[in-house]
Chain A
Amino acid sequence: MPESLLRLCYLSSDDKSKVLPEWAYFFMRLGYQLATMPNDSYRVVTCIAIPTRVFACSLVATGIVLAKAGSQNSIDTMQLEYIRGLKSGTSVYIRTDNNKRLRGIVKKFVEFHGKQYILIRTTESMEQGFSLNDYASRITVADQDINLPRHQQSGYSVETPSKFLQCCLGEKLAQTYILDSSFEALLIGKKSVIEHEVSSHFISCKTSDKVVGVTGYLQEILRVRQFSGANKSYRTQCVSSLNITPEKEIGKQAPPLVIFDGASAYINLGHKWRSAHQIVLLDRTERQVADAVELLNQSYAYRLTGTPSLPENIPNGIEMMVYKENIE
């Protein structure tokens, strides 16, 4: 398990930093391992029965994004494909080399000397070309149509990483982490409950001298698009389990992993995103848990052979079933 996960602590009721318990590491380790699985000809379905849903989804998601954060040097092919698929006229934000944010409208894609470029109109009369390989992760689709200025933009300064994030990821990685968008996981559940959990409850990160903990929120790591200010870069997205058309909210890019926070999330939206790995968190106290288990047990009957390697230690009170499923 990476050092960044081991540094995380929670604040006890007397406000002291304490090492995370075994179950919390289990969720993060699980997310970490699933994040590194290929999105290939099969997907992995991980069903977990737990005594409470509290923090399970956000910790699994933390494991996923931190696993991906370490491998950001390579180009995120899914993000690249997503940007390549944008239609002419799409409103976007681009982060420039000097960490300024420009607004623009996609014009077209061109190839020049064997390299692909995206042409973006940044003023009423000017277009700029950005290398797709270099800029794909720095382009974010705007929530609403934008108006272009007449004159050249100087751009807005973009945010700097918090001490907490720097503690978790290291200074260098934290800087790029908050500026680039990459859709690592989709969280489906009770949005306001998840938001409250990740944005209102402090956790802490032990600094290297292990004396003082720096406090922050899981949202700083998860960067859930729907909980951030508009047009900020993001790492995960979250939709309500009652949303019958989630694509409208998250855009066309399919998530590589979907975390279903609760039985109703899986029952309502388990059929979507066929290629995404699934993590189904079932709070045993939920009303519809038996219905979800029945669906999952039926789906298990059609599994592919072989079991993916997953955490070896499952804490007491947690039950898990894992299988591979054909996605074709």
Chain B
Amino acid sequence: MSASLFQDAVTLYEKNDSTVITRYRIEHPALGKFCISLNDLYSRLYELVSQDYWQKFLIPLKRLQFGLCAAPFPNDYRFKRISTIVDEMQHHLQFCQKLYPDLASSAFTVLDLLSGILEEPRDPLLGKLLELTSVEQKVAWVIKESRLIPHVEELVAELNLTKLSLVHPLQLKNLTCYDHLIVIGPSRWFPESIFTAPRASQIDILIFDWIKDRWKPQSIFVSPFRPSDSSNRNHLAVKERETGSRWEGIDSESILNIVDKTSSLVSTLKAEWDSDEYENVEAVCIFLEGDLAVLIEANEGAKTLIIDPDEDSNNRIARVFVKDIKSGVFVLVRTGGGGDYIVPVADKIMGDQAPQAREYQKRWKESLRKHVKRNGLLETSIDLLDLGSYLANEINVRNWMSPRSIRTQNYSDFLAIMKLVGFEGKAQEYWSVMNRINRAHNKAGFKIRALLLEQVKDLNMEILQKQGQMHFKVSGDDEAEMTAFRVEGVLSETLEAPYSRIGKPFKLEDQLWHE
């Protein structure tokens, strides 16, 4: 028995009762000049921005810009990263004068200004953080992205701040409270609940003075109930601590958005598109933290495994319809071996029968695909309808060809396919083998879910939230290693993608598949 849950809630409401939010602007002219020049170049490039040449120049610089605005780094690491990028980009710009004479000087200016940061030995962001962090108090620095946290941990290890914690914003959903939260970066980067459901009575927002940030607390309801004596004080307000500098501000979103995810995805897929259009499948693109993405097949009724940290331990692992995936959940993707995590486990369940069963599955699908290539989807559908199929249409035929699907829902459709590809005499035998695979897949789905549940049951969700991703082994070998990635967004439209790319995470900007 624990009495602390109520006590924790009491503490949390006490923090809410007297929260003071202060927005501190930080001066760092050298970094400011670099960021503004980069922003200006971005505007000047206009339509050229999406060109590969400029993407290769802009993305590393934008990533660096975000990092420098979002977290303090150890000096050595900071200088090394800046120097490396300056060197690499100078090399990248060697023919810029000839290729883009009107833009070259702006691009070189950006690099000059970036080099200027190296002349500034101190980091004003770190300086302000240390000034505000009391060694006596329970303080947490709130860092926008999980991947930045290890670098800051390295820095903090040398600072002797024993009561300091480094937290990801989504860790601030639970009942852990602090004396003081220091949020690094503009408020728009963070969930509003950090400020409206505060886990500390003192919250400071640290932001460079060239970044626009005007967020103020507002009612979430269209008509909040106001008691007649108005004893409910709308106490939340943001105190401003301005600097003397005056800049033409940069939008906080433009610093955050390093990669144009949609266009990067489209160009990635174009480069990877299979020349055989029938090898492509309808897919949903899920954007993951750290500019990663993964494609998931979007058949009607297609489901995928997720971890929902908001759910209780019994319901945390769920197989949800792909269309129901929301940002904030963790999508489970097979990272050891191929993209489909069910197949190897199902094959283990089928044992010695697996190779032959898979051969049967491959054989009828290939035969159907050959027919489609010769005659097209429409004509194949009509042929199947003539042969007794009920559900043949272009979408269903495409699904039936997909290696992911095992068989048709109804035997009449399957028999029609068998007739079409000349396997009529063996239709029953094929159907029975496909049923065997289907049963194995169902069992595999349950088994994987059960194994994951076992691992996730006692998992501290705060750790998962902090790290943003986590590896799981689901059947004792690397072939069934899975990784949970935090979902940042889902592309609203489906797209055609090569089947070979389904379920494999990849980095957006460099178009390399992530291994």
Interface positions of A (Cβ within 8 A of B): 10-13, 15, 21, 23, 47, 49-52, 54-55, 190-193, 197, 200-203, 240, 242, 264, 282-290, 293, 296-297, 300-301, 307, 310-323
A109 vs B198: C-alpha distance when bound (angstroms): 58
9-residue interface stretch from B95-103, B157-165, B305-313 = B305-313
- 16 A-B pairs with CB atoms under 8 Å apart are A13-B4, A52-B9, A54-B5, A54-B8, A190-B315, A192-B313, A193-B312, A203-B6, A286-B173, A288-B326, A310-B225, A315-B13, A316-B18, A317-B16, A320-B221, A321-B223
List CB contacts (< 8 Å) of B1-41 with chain A: 1-10, 12-14, 16-18
A319 with B326, Cβ < 8 A, contacts A192-B312, A242-B315 known = no
A322 to B225, CA, bound (A): 6
Q: Is B315 a contact partner of A297 (Cβ separation < 8 A)?
A: no
With an 8 A cutoff between CB atoms, is B356 at the interface? no
Docked-complex contact A313 and B222, CB < 8 angstroms: no
Structural contact, A202 and B222, CB atoms closer than 8 A: no
A135 to chain B, nearest CB (A): 37
Which of B189-197, B244-252, B440-448, B504-512 is the interface stretch?
Answer: B189-197
Which of B4, B315, B327 contacts A240, CB < 8 Å?
B315
Does the CB pair B328–A287 fall under 8 Å?
yes
Q: Do A190 and B221 touch across chains, with their CB atoms under 8 A apart?
A: no
Which residue in A242, A264, A289, A320 is a CB contact (below 8 Å) of B224?
A: A320
Q: Would you call B6 and A52 a contact (CB within 8 A)?
A: no
**Chain B interface category by residue count:** 35 or more
A15-B3, A300-B222, A319-B219 given; A284·B13 CB < 8 A: no
* Segment with Cβ contacts to A, from B47-55, B230-238, B419-427: B230-238
Residues of A within 8 A of B12 (CB): 51-52, 54
**Do B232 and A314 have beta carbons less than 8 Å apart?**
yes
Q: Chain B binding site: helix, strand, loop or mixed by DSSP?
A: loop
Residues of A within 8 A of B9 (CB): 52, 54-55
Rounded to whole angstroms, the CA-CA distance of A321 and B232 in the bound complex is 13
For the complex formed, measure the closest distance between the CB of B475 and the CB atoms of chain A, giving whole angstroms.
27
Q: Closest residue to A311 on the B side, CB-wise?
A: B227
B6 touches A321 (CB 8 A): no
A201, B229: Cβ atoms under 8 Å? Answer: no
Contacts of B219 in A (CB 8 A): 319
Given contacts A51-B12, A52-B197, A192-B314, contact A10 B7 (CB under 8 A): yes
Q: Are A316 and B311 in contact (CB under 8 A)?
A: no
- Partner of B221 from the list A10, A51, A319 (CB cut-off 8 Å) is A319
| Given A21-B10, A49-B220, A51-B12; A313-B231 close (CB under 8 Å) | yes
Q: A287's contact among B10, B17, B326, by CB below 8 Å, is which?
A: B326
Give the docked Cα–Cα distance between A49 and B232 (Å): 13
Q: Decide: A13 and B7 in contact? CB cutoff 8 A.
A: yes
Contact A190 B4 (CB under 8 A): no
Say whether B310 contacts A287, CB under 8 Å.
Answer: yes
Report how far A318 CA is from B221 CA in the complex, Å. Answer: 12
Known: A296-B221, A317-B13, A319-B219. A201 touches B227 (CB 8 A): no
Cβ-defined contact, B225 with A320, below 8 A: yes
B223-279: which have CB < 8 Å to A? 223-225, 227-229, 231-233, 235
Q: Contacts A192-B312, A284-B197, A285-B191 known; A201 to B221 CB distance under 8 Å?
A: no
- Check if A11 sits within 8 Å of B227, measured CB to CB: no
CB–CB A201/B3 < 8 A? yes
Question: What is the distance, in angstroms, from A22's C-beta to the closest C-beta of chain B?
Answer: 8
B117 lies within 8 A of chain A by Cβ: no
**B175 close to A (CB within 8 Å):** yes
Point out the residues of chain B lying under 8 angstroms from A314, CB to CB. Answer: 225, 227, 231-232
- Does B368 lie at the interface of the complex (its beta carbon under 8 Å from any beta carbon of A)? no
Residue of B nearest to A296 (CB): B221
Q: Which residue of B lies closest to A286 (CB)?
A: B310
Instruction: List the B side residues contacting A290 at CB < 8 Å.
Output: 220
> Which partner residue on chain B sits nearest A13 by CB separation?
B7
